[in-house]
Amino acid sequence: MTTDSPMTDEAVRDAGMEVKPVAGHIGAEIGGVDLAADLDDAVVAALRAAVLRWKVVFFRGQRLDHAGHVAFARRFGEPVVLPRRGKASPPDFPEIETTADRLELGGRFGMEHDEWLRRRRHTLLRGWHCDHGARVDPPAATILRAETVPPYGGDTTWSNLAAAYAGLSAPLREFVDGLRAEHRLGVGYQPRPGDDAYVRHLLDRQVASLHPLVRVHPETGERILYVNGYYVEQIAGLSRPESGAILDMLLEQAVRPEYTVRFRWEPGSVAFWDNRATMHLAPGDTAHLDHPRIMHRVMLAGDVPVGVDGRASEPVTGTAPGRW
């Protein structure tokens, strides 16, 4: 499947829905479907094809509750059950993580949220990530539902990593095809002076994997520029200066505006994205606003990435396939 094939759009229309692309390389809004309904197999297949083509698809005006959210997710895979969630997440639905929990994290370690966020995103590229990218088997997809959003701000941006790879020159594609990089939890964080409780937390719960820098998508066969602004530590086999320069170049390539889409949330909006073929940037413009932003996400279990050479990712520490 290629990213410019019209066949998935025809499948969506044949299933009684409509697809409206919102950017040239990534993102489409899908209308004419009630995600809370008992969807037939043809609709599920069409939605799966649309996610594979557009990498992220959006739905407006949905009335999903927690049970409906989980039931919808199960039509596409096995929801991940996280061992630890914050108190904002619904206790009766272990598959759902409420993103308001993220606002609590700084406070747990003696920081206001804006300071914690600033230390995690000390460069323009550090906030870009795929979900749980330090794991040896990152989630295959994420389904994020908006409950309450501010009247302005709070947008999320995604990038198409297949298009970013295709946009590299042929010699550079050949070079990166054979590289691997270590993805490690917390490498983008800048510690506070002196004792830092968050650093101790990261060291106690360290997760790291060695992933191919170019992975082959298990369903489409596309080559994916598998970079990650928040988790990537170093390209294996290269010196620190060499690795830093190449990673910066690849990250800048990955988030070029033409490969991205930005979504304005409304209550009842749902975004469904392929976590194997995208990075996303969560908003950093709401901490100072006196408006709540409550989102709920379900992640689908993923596979171990495989590189162009056929070699799979390898766990380094704190991670094993299927064990959360």
pTM: 0.92
Active site residues: 129, 131, 280, 297
Whole-angstrom CA distances from 221 to 15, 49, 53, 247, 277 are 25, 14, 12, 24, 11
Q: What is residue 104's predicted lDDT score, i.e. its pLDDT?
A: 60
What are the residue boundaries of the structural domains of the chain, listed by start?
6-317
Question: pLDDT tens, 276-288?
Answer: 999 999 887 877 7
C-alpha–C-alpha distance, residues 141 and 222, integer Å: 16
- Alpha helices, H only, the chain: 7-14, 41-54, 66-74, 102-108, 113-120, 161-166, 170-177, 197-204, 240-254
Question: pLDDT tens, 173-220?
Answer: 999 999 999 999 888 788 888 888 888 888 888 999 999 999 999 999
C-alpha–C-alpha distance, residues 77 and 247, integer Å: 32
Averaged pLDDT for residues 240-259: 96
pLDDT band at 122 (very low <50, low <70, confident <90, very high): low
- Which residues in the chain belong to E strands, given as ranges? 18-21, 28-31, 56-59, 97-98, 141-148, 156-160, 180-184, 208-212, 214-216, 223-225, 232-235, 260-263, 270-274, 278-281, 294-300, 314-317
SS3 14: helix
Averaged pLDDT for residues 141-148: 97
For the record, the structure tokens of 248 come out as: 């910066």
Q: Which of the four CATH numbers 3.40.50.2300, 3.40.50.10710, 3.60.130.10, 3.40.50.150 does domain 6-317 have? A: 3.60.130.10
